[in-house]
Amino acid sequence: MRVSVVVFPGTNCDRDTKWAFEEIGANVEFIWHNENDLKNPDLVVLPGGFSYGDYLRSGSIARFSPVMKKVVEFANKGGYVLGICNGFQVLLESHLLPGAMKRNENLHFVSKHHHLKVVNNDNKFLRNLEVGEIVNIPIAHAEGNYTPQSEEALKKLWDNGQILLQYVDENGHISNPNGSADSIAGICNENKNVFGLMPHPERAMQSILGSKDGVRMLTSFLDK
Amino acid sequence: MKVVANIYLKNGVLDPQGKAVHHGLDSLGFEGVNDVRVGKQIVLDIDTDDEAKAKAEVEEMCEKLLANVVIENYEVEVKK
């Protein structure tokens, strides 16, 4: 399994992400933002951070980097792409995923462990988890207030099984840390090959760090 | 030619910053504020004397980069 982790100026979760995928046995390459070759990966990961200083809007400038042209081509040919946190914002700004991010409703940067409910596992990303299962994964963002284009767009996401994860409390009741529509934490595209989530599975790989629920998420990309 | 793009969240899209500012104004005793929306203003210097052309160009910039048209509206104004 070959994983290419894209690094923009301002990305800061690249090394954690590389380490996490190596822990589960993947071969990981870094791809610098001005490179034109993704190095033939099975999965491209856009990690968290503050690409291009988050100027204008989070993720809006990263979209114009040479590597993103290749990522869009790769995704449009059915290649698997995972965007974590800032990577999710880049996927929205690149129109690989629908909708947009607003500032968190309470205007705070929220950084803590949070429970998530698996809404749909009929996809490569969450197939190792059960629908309704509660996992514990850290979040750390100021702009995670997911906003769909319209009510109809939101309904379409539900109908197509594109809503993957919701923010909940430990008992599975909705608990929304940022004002996100329907408490959405993660979505995928219609073809189910592009995934975006605000929480950080790469930070939930060892019990000693509070949770290893990220392991099963990331390994689902590996298993045949 | 100076061209100004004003960008703000669409009507109906909840504006968390506007809400916080509104709350602050209430605390200061400014009464009768019905609503507050916070946006951003981008000022460009465009190398042309053709007003219509400058406006059209900045509108295209808004569509492609300056605004996120999923949640934001924009207004472009040419300064004389």
What ipTM was assigned to the predicted interfaces of this complex? Answer: 0.79
> How far apart, in whole angstroms, are the C-alpha atoms of residue A186 and residue A91?
12
CB contact under 8 Å between A179 and B16, yes or no, is yes
Residue A114 to residue B30: CA distance in whole angstroms? 38
Q: Domains in chain B, start-ordered, CATH in brackets? A: 2-79 (3.30.1280.10)
pLDDT over 90 at A223, yes or no: no
Top pLDDT among B17 and A20 is at: A20
Shortest Cα distance from B79 to chain A (angstroms)?
A: 22
Asked if A200 is an active-site residue, the reply is: yes
State how far the Cα of B5 lies from the Cα of B75, in Å rounded to an integer: 6
The domain total for chain A is: 1
Cα A83 to Cα A13: distance, rounded to the nearest angstrom = 11
A85 is catalytic: yes
A124 pLDDT more than 80: yes
Q: Which residues pair with B3 in a beta bridge?
A: B44, B78
Task: Report CB contact under 8 Å: A147, B71.
Answer: yes
Nearest to A92 by CA among A7, A157, A9: A157
**pTM of the full structure:** 0.92
Gap between the Cα atoms of A100 and A79, Å rounded = 22
Q: Is A113 a catalytic residue?
A: no
Mean pLDDT of A59-76: 95
What range does the domain containing A143 cover? 2-222
Contact B71 A102 (CB under 8 A): yes
Please report, rounded to a whole number, the percentage of residues in chain A having pLDDT higher than 90: 97
The CATH number that applies at residue A192 is 3.40.50.880
Annotated catalytic residue, options A13, A33, A114, A202 = A202
d(CA A208, CA A127): 25
Distance, CA of B36 to CA of B23 (rounded, Å):
9
If you search the block for the tokens 């995670």, which residue do you land on?
A: A144
pLDDT of B16 reads: 87
Asked whether the predicted pLDDT for residue A25 surpasses 80, the reply is yes
* Vertex A43 angle, CA A93 and A202, to 5°: 80
Most B CBs within 10 Å, among A65, A90, A93, A147, to test the B interface: A147
CB neighbours (10 Å) of residue A152?
A: 9
Q: What is the pLDDT of residue A224?
A: 65
| Average pLDDT over chain A, rounded to an integer | 96
CB contact under 8 Å between A103 and B17, yes or no, is: yes
Query: How far is it, in rounded angstroms, from Cα A184 to Cα A197?
Result: 9
B65/A contact by beta carbon, under 8 A: yes
Round to whole Å and give the CA distance between B71 and A102: 8
Residue of B nearest to A62 (CA): B65
Minimum Cα–Cα distance from B42: chain A residue: A56
Place of tokens 């982790």: A5
Per residue in B21-78, pLDDT (tens digit) is 999 999 999 999 999 999 999 999 999 999 999 999 999 999 999 999 999 999 999 9
